[in-house]
Structure 1
Amino acid sequence: MKDATDLPQSLLVLGGTSEIALATARRLIARRTRTVWLAGRPGPALEQAAESLRALGADVGTVDFDALDPESHETALGKVFAEGDIDMVLFAFGILGDQAYDERDPLRAVQVAQTNYTGAVSAGLVAARALQSQGHGSLVVLSSIAGERARRADFIYGSSKAGLDTFAQGLGDALYGTGVHVMVVRPGFVRTKMTAGLPQSPLATTPEAVATAVELGLRRRSETVWVPGALRLVMTALRHTPRALFRRLPL
């Protein structure tokens, strides 16, 4: 069960090698979290991530999870919930893709959409049902400001995040009053291995800053978290910018 500050004692991460997820897990372990499950594709990276958290004193397990294999989601998540209640499920899986290549290869574009959106729909419904059955818990979804408005530079990735964001918001409404809290996190450009080599956007942030925002959002039981917070105003302005002008912006 969560403590009086709404911080979890047990955590399930879908996307167990994500730098943002691991930064979040480290921060929560430093507070109250004692049990962590890292779900991801099996391999050295997942085991190394688990060992890094065990070194902090957490009891860490791993479970095979593939966003592109929705038929396995019931089994994978069921294995974790069968071990005991989970206070928080963190959705941190996804791929950025490469817009220039993906536009010329529809199968690559579809893989981005299936990983970031349809995989999350499947796993999200499974996780939501499990949390609702136990009567408590938080479902935290890492979205992106890229989903706020399609940009020429990354509309394939952005459209997949837009779908994820809308799904998560709707799921939060569906679960309202059940004891399950859904929180959507919208970071801007995060400096990680995945974004290495890309032009850095203004208001760029770090995995640690996102982790801090997640903790604060949990304490406040927020439904939407922007990282950094100033992006909320920026994206509100961009969302209402006339299309003819928006097309001319260097975004």
Structure 2
Amino acid sequence: MKDAFGTPQSLLVLGGTSEIALATARRLIARRTRTVWLAGRPSPALDGAAERLRGLGAEVHTVDFDALDPDSHESALGKVFAEGDVDMVLLAFGILGDQAHDERDPAGAVRVAQTNYTGAVSAGLITARSLQAQGHGSLVVLSSVAGERARRANFIYGSSKAGLDAFAQGLGDALHGTGVHVMVVRPGFVRSRMTADLEEAPFATTPEAVASAIELGLRRRSETVWVPGALRVVMSALRHLPRAVFRRLPV
């Protein structure tokens, strides 16, 4: 169960090598989180992440999980909840893709959509049902400001995040009053391995800053978190620009 300050004592990370997820896990372990499951494809990176978290004093397990194999999600995630209550699920997997390449290769675009949206729908519904069955818990979904309005430069990724964001908000409405808290996190450009080759966008942030915002959002039981907060106003303005104006912007 969460402690008096809302800090989860147990955490399931879907996307166990995500830099944002691991920064969040480190921050929560420094508070009261003692049991962590890292779900992802088996790899030295996943094992290394687990070992580093163990060094911080947590009991850490790895779980075989593949976003692109929804038929396996029920079994993989069911094993985690069979071990006991999970206070928080962090849905953090996703891929950026290569917009220029994926426009020429629809299979690449489909992989982005299946990872970021279809896989998340499957895992989100399964974990939400398990949280509801135990009567408590938080589902934190990493969305993106890219989902607020699709841009020419990354509309494949942006559209997948738009779908994820709408799904997570609807799921939160469906679970309202059940004891399960759904929180959508919308970071802007995050300095990470995934964006290392990209030109940095305004309002760039870090995995650690996103982790801090997630922790604060949990304490406040927020439903939507923007990182940094100023993006709430910026994206509201961009979302309402006439399309003819928006097309001319260098975004």
State TM-score, norm by structure 2.
1.00
Runs of 4+ displaced beyond 2 Å: none
Report deviation, 1:249.
0.2
Secondary structure class of the residue paired with 2:30: helix
Task: Name the aligned partner's letter for residue 156 of structure 2.
Answer: I
Residue by residue over 1:139-170, the C-alpha shift from the partner in whole angstroms, topping out at 9 and shown as x without a partner, is 00000000000100000000000000000000
Structure 1 distance, partners of 2:143, 2:241, is 22
Match in the other structure for 2:198:
198
State TM-score, norm by structure 1.
1.00
Match in the other structure for 1:93:
93
Structure 2 distance, partners of 1:4, 1:73, is 32
Q: How does 1:74-93 map to 2 (within 5 A)?
A: 74-93=74-93
Structure 2 distance, partners of 1:32, 1:227, is 24
Secondary structure class of the residue paired with 1:167: helix
Match in the other structure for 2:70:
70
Match in the other structure for 1:166:
166
The aligned length equals 251
Alignment root-mean-square deviation, CA: 0.3
Identical counterparts, % of pairs: 84
Task: Name the aligned partner's letter for residue 59 of structure 1.
Answer: E
Structure 1 distance, partners of 2:102, 2:148, is 20
Does residue 3 of the first structure (1) align with residue 3 of the second (2)? yes
Match in the other structure for 1:250:
250
Residue by residue over 1:217-248, the C-alpha shift from the partner in whole angstroms, topping out at 9 and shown as x without a partner, is 00000000000000000000000001000000
Residue by residue over 1:155-210, the C-alpha shift from the partner in whole angstroms, topping out at 9 and shown as x without a partner, is 00000000000000000000000000000000000000010010000000000000
Match in the other structure for 2:184:
184
Report deviation, 1:36.
0.2
Report deviation, 1:14.
0.2
Structure 1 distance, partners of 2:54, 2:125, is 29
Task: Name the aligned partner's letter for residue 208 of structure 1.
Answer: E
Structure 1 distance, partners of 2:149, 2:197, is 23
Residue by residue over 1:15-55, the C-alpha shift from the partner in whole angstroms, topping out at 9 and shown as x without a partner, is 00000000000000001100000000001010000001000
Match in the other structure for 2:53:
53
Report deviation, 1:6.
1.1
Structure 1 distance, partners of 2:89, 2:248, is 40
Does residue 106 of the first structure (1) align with residue 73 of the second (2)? no
Report deviation, 1:92.
0.4
Structure 2 distance, partners of 1:146, 1:5, is 32
Structure 1 distance, partners of 2:5, 2:132, is 20
5+ residue gaps, structure 2, are none
Task: Name the aligned partner's letter for residue 52 of structure 1.
Answer: R
